[in-house]
Structure 1
Amino acid sequence: MEFSIKASAPEKLKTGALVVPVFSDGALGAQGLAIDAATAGQLSRLVARDLEEKSGTLLALPELPGVAAERVLVVSLGKRDEFADKAVRSALAAVGKWLAGSRATSAALCATDFVAGARDLPWTLRTAAQALFDATYQYEAPYGKKDGKSQSKRLAKVEMLLVGKSDNATKAALAQGAAIASGMALTRDLGNLPANYCTPTHLADTAKKLGKQYKLKVEVFDRAGIEKIGMGSFLSVSRGSHEAPRFIVLHYNGGKAKEAPVVLVGKGVTFDSGGISIKPGEGMDEMKYDMCGAASVLGTFKAISELALPINVIGLIPATENLPSGTATKPGDVVTSLSGQTIEVLNTDAEGRLILCDALTYAERFKPAAVIDIATLTGACIIALGHHPSGLFSNDDTFARELQDLGQDCGDRAWHMPLWDDYQEQLKSNFADMANIGGRPAGSVTAACFLSRFTGNYKWAHLDIAGTAWKSGAEKGATGRPVPLLTSYLIARAGR
């Protein structure tokens, strides 16, 4: 989808759909008033008669007299005194969903009229691009029959209409929103692929394609290479599968040569049966989403590459399946991690931390400025927080607050959870340096405590995205989170 900024009289613009926001009391903004004047008041009369008050409700008006657009799409912003970020996002999501189902191939948004309370125009443009791109996303299966909807009939162009000319800040904001949405789309595509297509090898091939497209350095280690590195914990998870594991390392070198990089570590379990500690059959198909942490790293690399951020970033993806077989790791087995610490595997379904811990140890060699790992790690995080924020754990409270504030700003929220030493006691083992689970109480916290034992030499944050990486039910599919949060952090760190 192509985004652009235009200073134009909205009523004179030829486009497939002209999007006009209005408050529940019928009040129009400056751009809406211009359209209303061109229609001799017909727009406001129809809005007063037919548009519901709730934020996000729509009124489609085809071939409105006095307006050059093929359709005028009016969207409610709700009550003026309740107008805030949520109202803007719900309105834009509704617009995107309508556009995705329409025959309009182009649209124009009266962007100035969408500016919310304390927010400015750049925030609005960034949010609009991200929301519209994301809402019009359609998964393209690489097999079987297509849906019959021609690509030529899909929304391809969106113009952001401003009152007055654009500046560098508005242009940069629009580009950021579009890049974030593009990265989210890649993350969603990978997450939505079935596990017989999205294998560890497929993730590695995707990384190589990104490397070729954006001139990134990409290293891929096979089983022998992983063994040579010494990642015994990671390899213990892969033993039950015929699919070969892959350890993927991406290098984005946009900053100065000696500038310390940010390292992103993504859990890449392309299918998780639980191993010998096998999961219940119901809902197990959703375990194809257990690689969404890895997918979010790849999506973030796509976003920052499109923005050409002046920053250095390393991506680390341990990728494997977790399946039961005669060669699979058994409960009670003891494995040795890359750090030299030994782990008693009490539950083979707590496998994500076993592959992440070796990648976190590997991250030390880059002398990182900060490390963030992203993982669909624990069902306990969903019990604690539901599906709205990701769980955020860190060994640096200032770092955690920065990420939490950025998440609030970009709409990809995370909530700071405790990482107190008190919880470490639950990981005691009689037969190794630690156990890989700490019992039912505070399961998301003890999982983070386990990872913290491999992160003592750098600033680190852990995002548990088990509740936010995908949706179940009628809207089943990957969400693309936390690409907005990760990219927003890297944009801010790059001074953009």
Structure 2
Amino acid sequence: MNFEIQKRALSRVIRDDLDALIVFWPSQPDATSTEKDPISTLVQQAVQKGDFELKTGSVLSTYGQAGTKARHVIVACTGENKATQIRIAATAAWAALKSAKVKHLGVYAHGQWSANSLQSAAAALADASYIYTTTLSKPSYRSLKQITFSASEVNAAHKTALAQAQALSAGVELAKEWANRPANHATPTMLAQAAQAIAKGAAFKCEVLGPKEVAKLGMGSFMAVARGAAEPLRFIVMRYNGASSTQAPVVLVGKGITFDTGGISMKPAAEMDEMKYDMSGAASVLGVFKALGELKPEINVVGLIPATENMPDGLAVKPGDVVTSMSGQTIEILNTDAEGRLVLCDALTYAERFKPQAVIDIATLTGACVIALGGVRSGLFTSDDELAQQLQQAGDNAGDLCWRMPMDDEYAEGLKTRFADVANVAGRQAGSVTAAKFLQRFAKKYPWAHLDIAGTAWRSGAAKGATGRPVALLMHYLLSKASTPARAPRRR
């Protein structure tokens, strides 16, 4: 899907050859505006008669509106034109259009828009129009191919924001695609093949390690989780080299449990199908690399994905077993359903070899984080104040929010055990924090942050599906660290 932007008045946009037109209308329109067009007149009449409330997300729909070339016209109220309000308005507007066959959509922004608000609108429309098709015998494909944004004022910042939005949408949708796939269509081997397909071009490298190579590295913790799975594990190492080789990379570590039964500590059957989403951290790393390939920013990035299933085979690791991690630390596995931290800890040790400027791991790690933060914000865990501030700012700018959680040393007390250096779980209290404290033991040689996306990586119920989070947060962070602004992606 292509995005473009142009400086045009609404009176001109209504004559464009569009299938549909969305007009974003603020709660307080510019009183000095002199635009005279059928849509502005219609809105004013509807407001006066009480048929259109100027409240964020309210919509006014017309078909075959006299004086406009687009078949469908949707006016959506954007409140004060804040990014979050625009996202709500865009989602509501598309809901009114989703049954229509819209290939070319026009979007007119009434009033002054920030670059961030424009990006929010583009991201929301891409998200709302996404359709999963991979495993359907007769899929209904997305008809929307082009979105043309128009506004009375357009500057270079708007154009840059929209170029980034297009690349981000490609990355988010790739992350959704792989997270949405059922486990038999997203095995560790398939994830590795996807990584290799993404990592093409002069700036990319991709290495895939199998069981023998992982054993040689001494990744005993990762291998323990994979012992019960018939599908062979894969350790995926992706590299994007957009800057000088002297620049230390940012390392992203994505949890890649392609299906999680809980192992011997088996989960209840209800909603276990959603454990296909347990590789959403890995999917987000793939999505980031897709976006990097589109934008080509001047930064070095490494992606590490430890990928395996967690299955209850006769060879599976048992509660009480002690394994030795790549770091040499021994771990007593008290609960085999706390497997994500076991694969991540070896990946965090592996990350040391890159001498990184920062390491961020992304994982659907704990149900406790869902209880704490729900599906609104991802959990952010780090003892590095600067890194925390940068990630929070990136999340705010992207509309992909996170919330910093405590990391006091006292939270690690529950991980003590007589039979190993550390246990893989503590008690039920502060479960998301104790999981982060476990990971912190393996990330002492570089600035590190952990994003728990268990509540934000997918939606349940009637709207069940992957969200593609936190691709946008991570890309905003990486772009803020890049040496020069990213280039606009090529139009498809």
Same fold (TM over 0.5): yes
1:89 corresponds to 2:87: yes
**Secondary structure, counterpart of 1:448 in structure 2:** helix
Match of 1:113 in 2: 111
Q: Is the 8 A contact 2:397 2:476 kept in 1?
A: no
Match of 1:45 in 2: 45
Q: Which of 118, 125, 137 matches 1:125?
A: 118
Deviation for aligned residue 1:157? 0.7
1:204 corresponds to 2:204: no
Report the residue type matching 2:5 in the other structure.
Answer: I
Trace 1:408-447 onto structure 2 (pairs within 5 A): 408-447=396-435
Match of 1:100 in 2: 98
Deviations 1:169-213 (A, max 9, x none): 222110111111111101111111001111101110100110136
Q: Distance in 2 between matches of 1:206 and 1:264?
A: 17
1:18 corresponds to 2:6: no
**Secondary structure, counterpart of 2:268 in structure 1:** coil
Greater shift, 339-348 or 101-110, is seen at: 101-110
Q: Distance in 2 between matches of 1:312 and 1:203?
A: 22
- Show structure 2 runs of 5+ residues with no match: 486-492
Q: Distance in 2 between matches of 1:187 and 1:442?
A: 29
Q: Is the 8 A contact 1:424 1:449 kept in 2?
A: yes
Report the residue type matching 1:14 in the other structure.
Answer: D
Q: Distance in 2 between matches of 1:29 and 1:378?
A: 50
- Show structure 1 runs of 5+ residues with no match: none
Q: Distance in 2 between matches of 1:30 and 1:89?
A: 26
Deviation for aligned residue 1:277? 0.4
Q: 1:450 to 1:158 in 2, by over 3 A?
A: same
Q: Which of 330, 334, 344 matches 1:342?
A: 330
Match of 1:56 in 2: 57
Deviation for aligned residue 1:66? 2.0
Report the residue type matching 2:23 in the other structure.
Answer: V
Q: Distance in 1 between matches of 2:292 and 2:32?
A: 35
Q: Distance in 2 between matches of 1:440 and 1:433?
A: 20
Deviation for aligned residue 1:215? 5.3
Trace 1:129-144 onto structure 2 (pairs within 5 A): 129-144=122-137
Q: Is the 8 A contact 1:21 1:28 kept in 2?
A: no
1:241 corresponds to 2:229: yes
Match of 2:351 in 1: 363
Report the residue type matching 1:3 in the other structure.
Answer: F
Deviation for aligned residue 1:68? 2.8
Q: Distance in 2 between matches of 1:84 and 1:314?
A: 34
1:490 corresponds to 2:478: yes
Q: Is the 8 A contact 1:17 1:71 kept in 2?
A: yes
**Secondary structure, counterpart of 1:14 in structure 2:** coil
Greater shift, 279-288 or 211-220, is seen at: 211-220
Deviations 1:394-420 (A, max 9, x none): 130121122112212211111111111
1:379 corresponds to 2:367: yes
Q: Is the 8 A contact 2:457 2:466 kept in 1?
A: yes
Q: Distance in 1 between matches of 2:282 and 2:120?
A: 24
Deviations 1:295-346 (A, max 9, x none): 0000011112101111000000000000001100000100000000000000
Q: Distance in 1 between matches of 2:62 and 2:31?
A: 18
Q: Distance in 1 between matches of 2:163 and 2:92?
A: 22
Match of 1:4 in 2: 4
Q: Is the 8 A contact 2:199 2:289 kept in 1?
A: no
Q: Distance in 1 between matches of 2:97 and 2:274?
A: 29
Report the residue type matching 2:73 in the other structure.
Answer: V
**Secondary structure, counterpart of 1:100 in structure 2:** coil
Q: Distance in 2 between matches of 1:177 and 1:479?
A: 16
Q: Is the 8 A contact 2:61 2:96 kept in 1?
A: no
Report the residue type matching 2:19 in the other structure.
Answer: G
Trace 1:201-240 onto structure 2 (pairs within 5 A): 201-212=189-200, 216-240=204-228
Match of 1:473 in 2: 461
Report the residue type matching 2:379 in the other structure.
Answer: G
Q: Is the 8 A contact 2:242 2:298 kept in 1?
A: yes
Deviations 1:248-293 (A, max 9, x none): 0000000111110000000000000000000111111110000000
**Secondary structure, counterpart of 2:150 in structure 1:** strand
Match of 2:256 in 1: 268
Deviation for aligned residue 1:143? 4.4
Deviation for aligned residue 1:94? 1.6
**Secondary structure, counterpart of 2:111 in structure 1:** helix
Q: 1:405 to 1:179 in 2, by over 3 A?
A: same
Q: Is the 8 A contact 1:22 1:28 kept in 2?
A: no
Greater shift, 85-94 or 256-265, is seen at: 85-94
Q: Distance in 2 between matches of 1:195 and 1:240?
A: 16
Q: Distance in 1 between matches of 2:280 and 2:351?
A: 20
Report the residue type matching 2:300 in the other structure.
Answer: N
Q: Is the 8 A contact 1:99 1:136 kept in 2?
A: no
Q: Is the 8 A contact 2:83 2:117 kept in 1?
A: no
Number of residue equivalences: 480
Deviation for aligned residue 1:474? 0.7
Q: Which of 352, 361, 378 matches 1:390?
A: 378
Trace 1:161-176 onto structure 2 (pairs within 5 A): 161-164=150-153, 166-176=154-164
**Secondary structure, counterpart of 2:323 in structure 1:** strand
Report the residue type matching 1:433 in the other structure.
Answer: D
Q: Distance in 1 between matches of 2:31 and 2:449?
A: 42
Deviation for aligned residue 1:72? 1.9
Deviation for aligned residue 1:104? 1.8
1:402 corresponds to 2:366: no
Report the residue type matching 1:73 in the other structure.
Answer: I
**Secondary structure, counterpart of 1:285 in structure 2:** helix
Q: Is the 8 A contact 2:26 2:110 kept in 1?
A: no
Q: 1:143 to 1:22 in 2, by over 3 A?
A: closer
Q: Distance in 1 between matches of 2:382 and 2:394?
A: 15
Q: 1:232 to 1:96 in 2, by over 3 A?
A: same
Q: Which of 148, 164, 187 matches 1:159?
A: 148
TM-score, normalised with respect to structure 2:
0.93
Q: Percent identity?
A: 51
Q: Is the 8 A contact 1:39 1:65 kept in 2?
A: no
Q: 1:42 to 1:394 in 2, by over 3 A?
A: closer
Q: Is the 8 A contact 1:265 1:371 kept in 2?
A: yes
